[in-house]
């Protein structure tokens, strides 16, 4: 590429003025997005609960991968708690300056059963993690903070194939993720007068902690479950996604120059799963 072309592309996608919060920051997709954003010039603050994978470890991994310790931060926070999130916003601002991007990547799936046997406690937990912790509470507090500060920020939510098509047996995940798509559109309209954009990325099937044992028979990942086989059969590209295939959409939606007039959309990154037909 000649230098004019390289400069043109760099200018369109540079994120050097971006300070990004990523919730679910110790998760698999968050780690991939964080690495890409730091490499593109942003500062990133990982927000994680610290239950399975401590946030400090996730930040250390990020520094090791990017070599930019001045751009990698972390805060331990349960995003299901309004008071925790209010405190986390203050800590984040003290560490890296006023954040101007929120990526809502907290969530996860648990439990699979016939509807008549669903465990209502697990249902509430999954709804809580994917909808309240996964969107409502961080969005409420961060958007209020931006409106008060006159910051024209951007939000990226994590939708799913189940936002569009119900996936069998995962009732709460279906309910939560279809609501995440609905609220992506609804909050895009609500916040547009403040210059705040709200979009989403809908990953197809990427192997993460949350779904590994739905897709593979055991932790060795040697053999697919029937569900894993069915998903691959219905994905025109015939495979699961690789986390790094999410970074182009992430950088695009974070860049005001590239996507400044785009709000209320969800971009499927799914190898064609949503357009599969017979």
Ligand X SMILES: NC(=O)c1ccc[n+]([C@@H]2O[C@H](COP(=O)([O-])OP(=O)(O)OC[C@H]3O[C@@H](n4cnc5c(N)ncnc54)[C@H](O)[C@@H]3O)[C@@H](O)[C@H]2O)c1
- For residue 97, what are the contacts with CB-CB under 8 A and spacing of at least 6? 19, 43
In the chain, DSSP finds a helix count (H) and a strand count (E) of 11, 7
* Closest-approach residue to ligand X (CB): 27
Burial class of residue 97 in the structure, from the number of CB atoms within 10 Å of its CB (0-12 exposed, 13-18 middle, 19+ buried) = exposed
CA distance 134 to 147: 20
Q: Compute the least distance from the CB of residue 32 to ligand X, in Å.
A: 8
Specify whether 173 is catalytic: yes
Contact at 8 Å (CB) between 182 and 247? no
Q: Per CB under 6 A, does 209 bind ligand X?
A: yes
Which residue among 164, 173, 194, 216 is the active-site one?
A: 173
Give the residue with the Cβ less far from ligand X, 76 or 100. Answer: 76
How far is CA 197 from its chain centroid?
A: 15
CA distance 27 to 166: 24
Q: Per CB under 6 A, does 78 bind ligand X?
A: yes
Q: Per CB under 6 A, does 163 bind ligand X?
A: no
Q: Per CB under 6 A, does 228 bind ligand X?
A: no
Q: What are the start-end ranges of the H helices in 67-136?
A: 82-96, 120-127
Q: Per CB under 6 A, does 99 bind ligand X?
A: no
Q: Which one of 8-16, 103-111, 144-152, 258-266 is the stretch in contact with ligand X (CB under 6 A)?
A: 103-111
What does DSSP assign to residue 19? E
Give the residue with the Cβ less far from ligand X, 194 or 245. Answer: 245
Residues 182-201 that bind ligand X (CB under 6 A): none
Q: Which DSSP string corresponds to 140-155? A: HHHHHHHHHHT---EE
Phi and psi angles of residue 54, each rounded to the nearest 5 degrees, phi first: -60, 145
Q: Per CB under 6 A, does 48 bind ligand X?
A: yes
Contact residue for ligand X among 100, 184, 211, 255 (CB under 6 A): 211
- For residue 149, what are the contacts with CB-CB under 8 A and spacing of at least 6? 98
- How many residues bind ligand X (CB under 6 A)? The answer is 31
Q: Per CB under 6 A, does 250 bind ligand X?
A: no
Q: Per CB under 6 A, does 83 bind ligand X?
A: no
Q: Which one of 12-20, 46-54, 227-235, 253-261 is the stretch in contact with ligand X (CB under 6 A)?
A: 46-54
Place of tokens 């971009």: 267
Q: Per CB under 6 A, does 49 bind ligand X?
A: yes
Which residue ranges make up the site for ligand X (CB under 6 A)?
A: 23-24, 26-30, 48-49, 51-52, 78-80, 105-108, 129-130, 133-134, 158, 160, 203, 205-206, 208-211
């Amino acid at each position: 590429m000649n230098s004019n072309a390289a400069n043109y592309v760099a200018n369109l996608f540079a994120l050097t003025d971006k300070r990004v919060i990523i919730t679910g920051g110790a998760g698999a997709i968050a780690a991939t997005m964080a690495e890409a954003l730091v490499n593109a010039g942003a500062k990133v603050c990982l927000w994680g609960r610290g239950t399975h994978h401590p946030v400090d470890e996730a930040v250390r991994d990020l520094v090791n991968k990017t070599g930019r310790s001045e751009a990698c931060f972390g805060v331990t926070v349960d995003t299901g708690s309004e008071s925790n999130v209010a405190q986390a916003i203050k800590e984040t601002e003290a560490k890296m300056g006023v954040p101007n991007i929120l990526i809502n990547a907290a969530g996860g799936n648990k439990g699979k059963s016939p509807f008549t046997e669903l465990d209502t406690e697990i249902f509430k937990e999954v709804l809580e993690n994917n909808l309240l912790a996964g969107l409502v509470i961080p969005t409420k507090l961060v958007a209020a903070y931006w409106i008060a500060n006159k910051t024209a920020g951007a939000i990226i939510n994590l939708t799913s194939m189940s936002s569009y098509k119900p996936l069998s047996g995962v009732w709460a995940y279906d309910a939560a993720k279809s609501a995440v798509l609905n609220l992506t559109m609804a909050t895009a309209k609500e916040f547009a007068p403040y210059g705040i954009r709200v979009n989403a990325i809908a990953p197809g099937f990427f192997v993460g902690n949350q779904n590994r044992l739905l897709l593979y028979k055991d932790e060795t990942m040697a053999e697919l479950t029937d569900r894993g086989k069915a998903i691959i059969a219905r994905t025109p590209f015939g495979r699961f996604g690789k986390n790094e295939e999410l970074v182009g959409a992430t950088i695009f939606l974070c860049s005001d120059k590239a996507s400044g007039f785009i709000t209320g959309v969800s971009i499927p990154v799914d190898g064609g799963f949503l357009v599969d037909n017979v």
